[in-house]
Amino acid sequence: MVGQEAATVVLLPIKPRYAGPIMDGRKRVEFRKTAFTRTPTHVVVYASSPTKKVLGYFEVDSVECTPIDGLWAKFSGVGGITSDDFFEYYSESAVGVALGVGKVVALRHPVELTALGLECRPPQSFMYLGPEILRMLAADERAPNTAPRRKARLRGRRVKRARVVTTAAA
């Protein structure tokens, strides 16, 4: 894995109904309410209750902060979430964050946080991790997700580091 030392890795707790589709390539964007102070290059996917395990990780293709209506207009086709659930999630927010899902690496055997040396409770929003976590996960990864991409794709070209796009609220 090239450039791990420069990686900014975040652990995201994600509901299992959204984590699974990320890992199998059907969900191409992860929505968040909170912006990151350091732009993530990789996301470790922790499926929250009742699963409570790390399923794998993905490379971040892009990070876009924009008003909620703009997020839905741009990413509804690849977000893996219904309109009702999306707008309920953002009901008290004016701006949201969309993380573009790049290369996905799923673990053969999902693991608990303690197996990664993380003796903590999963965070409510996110938690920064050291890049060495990627090496630990790579020891158990299966082949990268090679499922064919759906026609709806993220706009823009793929880049090594995530690009950050901020749109002013209207």
Average pLDDT of the residues in 72-81: 96
Q: Given pLDDT bands bounded at 50, 70 and 90, which one contains residue 154?
A: very low
Does residue 55 fall inside a structural domain? yes
Does residue 128 fall inside a structural domain? yes
Comparing CA positions, the residue from 140, 135, 139 lying closest to residue 107 is 140
Helix (H) or strand (E) segment spanning residue 21: helix 16-23
With a CB cutoff of 8 Å and minimum separation 6, the contacts of 81 are 18, 27, 31, 89
What CATH number has the domain bearing residue 87? Answer: 2.30.130.30
Is 5's pLDDT higher than 80? no
- Number of structural domains (the chain) is 1
Q: Calculate what percentage of the chain has a pLDDT beyond 70.
A: 79
CA distance 126 to 111: 18
Does residue 57 fall inside a structural domain? yes
Does residue 47 fall inside a structural domain? yes
Q: Whole domain around residue 142: which residue ranges?
A: 4-149+162-166
Does residue 156 fall inside a structural domain? no
Does residue 51 fall inside a structural domain? yes
CB 133 within 8 A of CB 9: yes
- Cβ neighbours, 10 Å, residue 129: 22
Is 47's pLDDT higher than 50? yes
Backbone phi, then psi, for 70, in 5-degree steps?
A: -65, -40
Does residue 36 fall inside a structural domain? yes
pTM of the model: 0.81
Tell which wins on pLDDT, 75 or 163. Answer: 75
Tell which wins on pLDDT, 157 or 22. Answer: 22
Does residue 155 fall inside a structural domain? no
